[in-house]
Structure formats: C-alpha cells, structure tokens
Amino acid sequence: MAKKSFFKTYGFIIFMLAGIIGGCVVGALNPVVKDASGEIVSKGATVLEPIGTVFINLMFCVVVPMVFCSIASAIANMSSAKRAGKVMGITVATFFVTAAIAAVIMYIIVRLIPIVSGSYTVVEGEMSSTLSVSDMIIGFFTKPDFGELWSRKAILPLIIAAIFFGFGIQMAGGKDTMVAKFLDNLTAVLMNVVKIITYYAPIGFFGFFAFLVATYGPDLIGDYSRTLIIYYVLCFAYMFIFFPIYARFGGGKGGAKVMWKHLFRPAAVSFGTCSSVATIPTNLEVAEETGISKETSNIVVPLGATMHMDGSAMSAIIKVAFLFGIFGMDFGTGQAILAIIVAVFSSVAMSGIPGGGGTGELVLCTLFFPDQLAIAFPIALAIGNLVDPPATMVNAAGDYVVSFIVERFVSGKDWLQKKLAKDAANELEA
C-alpha cells in the first residue's frame, strides 16, 4: 500500500525528471557539429526538437481559451465587482514589488561580481525594424481585431479582454447568469483536457532538452559561461531564500513548509517548457491543493503568467550589465536606477511563451544602446535564450507563491492555519 501511494504521488515527477535528464544526456552526446566555415555538418540531437514542440503546441491550444475562461469566470462568480477589483489591485501591486526586489538583488550581484572579463564581439547584422514606444504600448494591451486575441502572442490583451468580459457579467447579474455558469463549467472541462495532455510531458521534455543541450551546450564558454553561471545560481538562490519569505508572509506559520510541499511541480514544468503560460494548469492545481481560494488563484495565476516576471527582471539587469561591460561603459547608479525601472516594466513584455520572442531584449537595447543596436540585440537575445529555463522557473513558480500573499489580504492572515486545522480534523475523523 505504501509503495502504491508513493508511486501515485511521485511517479509522474520521476518520469518528468527522467525525461529531462535523458534529453540532456542525448543532447550532450550528440551536439550540433559545424565545419570551419560555420556551416552545420550534423544537426545532432536537434532532430528531436519536434517531440518537445508537439507537447508545447498541444498545451498552447488549450491554455489560451482556458486563460480567458478562468479569469472571466473568477470575476463573474465573485460576490461583487468591488472584491474582484481588490484581488486584482493587490495582485498587480505584489507583482511589481517582487520584481523590483529581484532586479535590485541582481544589480547588487553584478556590481560585486564582474560578469565580463574582457571584450566580446559579435558579427554586426541588420535589424529588421524597431517599434516606437507608443506602438509597443498599444501592442501590449490591445489588438485591432477580436480574432487576434486568441493567440499565445496576445496573452496580455486576452487577459484584459477577459477582465472586461468578467466585469460585464458582474453588471449583468454575476454568478447567477447562464454565462457565468457556462464559463465555470468550461474552465473545468479545459482543465481536464490539460491533464490528458500532461501525460505526454515526460516525452516532450526529453525532446526539448535534447535540442537545448545539443544547440547551446558548446556555446557555454568564456564570458557567456560566467554570466550563465551567475544567473542560474542566483535564480535558485532567489527561489530557496525569498520564496519561503514570501510564503511565510502570506501564509503565516507553516506557510513555507506547505509551499515546499507543492513548489517542485510548477518549478519542474516551467523549467522544462520555458513557458509561464504552459505552467498555468499546474499552478492552479497546486494552489487548490494548498487551500487558496479559486477567486484568488484564478486571477493571480493567469495574470501572473504575463505580469509576474521576477526572473525576467533579473535577466534584464544581467543583460544590460553584460552589454555595458562589452562596450566598456560604466553601469553606475544613475543607469542602474533606470535599468531597474525598465526591467520591472519591460518584464511585462516577456510573456509566457518559449523564448520570449525577443521583445524584452529589443526594449532594453533600444533604450540603453541605440547606437550599438545591431550588435547589442543579438547578444541580448542569445543570453535571453540561454537563461530562459531558470528565468521562467522563477517567474512561473513564483506565481504560485504570490498567491499566498494575495490570499492573506483577501481571506485574512490566518487562512492557512484554518485550512491546516480543518485537514487535521478530517484526518482524525477518518
């Protein structure tokens, strides 16, 4: 009985880890091979990329409508529009505070530990086009056509549309309306579809990591290696040091212990998929198991997939520091303050899609290195790709942790103690 219980609890996690480790081994043994001119001679394990892409694509097909339905349903089923606004206000404020903390920490680290020891050169290339600030703002928050909302590249506009839709349902009668009940049922159906797709995750992780290691493994040298080591170590340090602090603040006594019990699952999924959006179902599941109310988790988690970017804020700072070092520029206090502000706000652009699309890198390079844009952008983009797994892990797993803080302000500081006491009473009765 004990063995069955152990496998039931940890079996899927073991399979996921096996897929990740197996992919890394295959990728290391079969790297991409190039000749003296830089032409690819052998693709190595990158031929396994479609295996991982299938999983990610399947996830996205379900996640996009699930994000809309879960947010709209959460707002529609709240007791009042005022309460919905309170939850969202606390959520967004928490996102900005934690992102600012992460960015400041990264700046302190790069000042203490120089990440560039010498010069670094990249072949200068052509930049396709640069967007104006106004165009970026418009693109972040709106789309010109309703059909364009239903894309993983438009997660933030989709969330905004879902918020408006949810408040519209509130004004029309709230949770008693047929639309609210339909959205609630549809969200449950989509969550079950996600569970079915997730069974394929270990195979998908195998293919994705084989591709990742085969492609980038040989490039992890010199200053890039130094940058990556610093970033990877800091991400895990941030998770092990600050996540318990956040959980303790949000959940009170026992908050950190409960968090560690559930944190590995969203951390593993986000690290493996490099997608905050793909981690939404797992975060919603562990939040429910923790005892966080659905009206909190159904807003915090989907909104966090786009707006809660502690890892991205840290990566923005280390990219800027790397480029300042390469170009021989002083990354002083004045530049640091601006960089931290930009990092916190530009992290919104780094939505939960694999690779981030380069939008955040383009924002940073346009603001800090307009004269060296053609050189700065490919460097920042390369670093962004290489640090994507731990950055997404901090981003997405942090969504679950932030729900502790929001729940404290929504349900009271003793919400977790009540949940634990109820569970203990149920165990005694059983």
Structure-block tokens of residue 88: 């969202």
The pLDDT value given to residue 7: 66
- Cα–Cα dist 408/389, whole Å: 29
The pLDDT value given to residue 425: 79
The pLDDT value given to residue 195: 81
Calculated CA dihedral for residues 335, 339, 340, 343, nearest 10 degrees: 180
Structure-block tokens of residue 168: 């519209």
In this model, does residue 130 exceed pLDDT 50? no
- Cα–Cα dist 1/58, whole Å: 35
In this model, does residue 265 exceed pLDDT 50? yes
| Helix orientation angle between 255-273 and 280-290, rounded to the nearest 10 degrees | 170
Is residue 404 within 8 Å of residue 239, measured between CB atoms?
Answer: no
The pLDDT value given to residue 393: 92
* Single-letter code of the amino acid located at 22: G
Which of 129-133, 289-293, 378-382 shows the highest mean pLDDT?
Answer: 289-293
More confident: 149 or 30: 30
* Region 146-160 average pLDDT: 77
Calculated CA dihedral for residues 143, 148, 153, 156, nearest 10 degrees: 50
Please, which contacts does 300-303 make with residues 24 or more away whose CB atoms are closer than 8 Å?
A: 300/87, 300/91, 300/399, 300/402, 300/403, 300/406, 301/70, 301/399, 301/400, 301/403, 302/67, 302/70, 302/71, 302/159, 302/162, 303/71, 303/88, 303/91, 303/92, 303/95, 303/159
The pLDDT value given to residue 361: 67
The pLDDT value given to residue 249: 94
Residue 34 DSSP SS3 = strand
- Cα–Cα dist 401/251, whole Å: 10
pTM of the model as a whole: 0.67
The pLDDT value given to residue 153: 66
The pLDDT value given to residue 37: 73
Q: Helix %, strand %, coil % for the chain, to 5?
A: 80, 0, 20
Which of 153-167, 173-187, 213-227 is least confident? 213-227
Please, which contacts does 121-124 make with residues 24 or more away whose CB atoms are closer than 8 Å?
A: 122/375, 122/378, 122/379, 124/374, 124/375
pLDDT, one tens digit per residue, over 279-322 is 888 999 999 999 898 888 888 888 888 778 899 889 889 988 88
Domains of the chain, by residue range, sit at 2-429
Query: In angstroms, what CA-CA distances link 278 with 257, 302, 354, 412?
Result: 25, 10, 9, 30
Beta bridge partners of 34: 40
Which of 72-86, 137-151, 162-176 shows the highest mean pLDDT?
Answer: 162-176
Give percent above pLDDT 70 in the chain.
82
pLDDT tier for residue 122 given thresholds of 50, 70 and 90: very low
Is residue 214 within 8 Å of residue 46, measured between CB atoms?
Answer: yes
pLDDT tier for residue 28 given thresholds of 50, 70 and 90: confident
Query: In angstroms, what CA-CA distances link 236 with 79, 147, 240, 264, 271?
Result: 39, 39, 6, 12, 11
- Cα–Cα dist 243/396, whole Å: 12
Average pLDDT, the chain: 80
Fold designation for 2-429? Proton glutamate symport protein (1.10.3860)
The pLDDT value given to residue 223: 66
Structure-block tokens of residue 310: 């502690």
Is residue 83 within 8 Å of residue 294, measured between CB atoms?
Answer: no
- Cα–Cα dist 69/190, whole Å: 9
- Cα–Cα dist 175/264, whole Å: 34
Structure-block tokens of residue 328: 């021989």
- Cα–Cα dist 149/143, whole Å: 7
pLDDT, one tens digit per residue, over 77-115 is 776 667 677 777 888 888 889 989 999 999 999 888 877
Give kind and range of the element (H or E) at residue 33.
strand 33-34
Detail the DSSP E strand segments found in 39-131.
Answer: 40-42
pLDDT, one tens digit per residue, over 305-364 is 877 889 988 988 998 888 888 777 777 777 788 888 878 876 654 454 444 445 566 667
The pLDDT value given to residue 60: 74
Residue with tokens 């399979």: 15
Closest CA to 362 of 125, 136, 120: 136
* Region 4-29 average pLDDT: 75
The pLDDT value given to residue 247: 93
Is residue 389 within 8 Å of residue 271, measured between CB atoms?
Answer: yes
- Cα–Cα dist 115/100, whole Å: 21
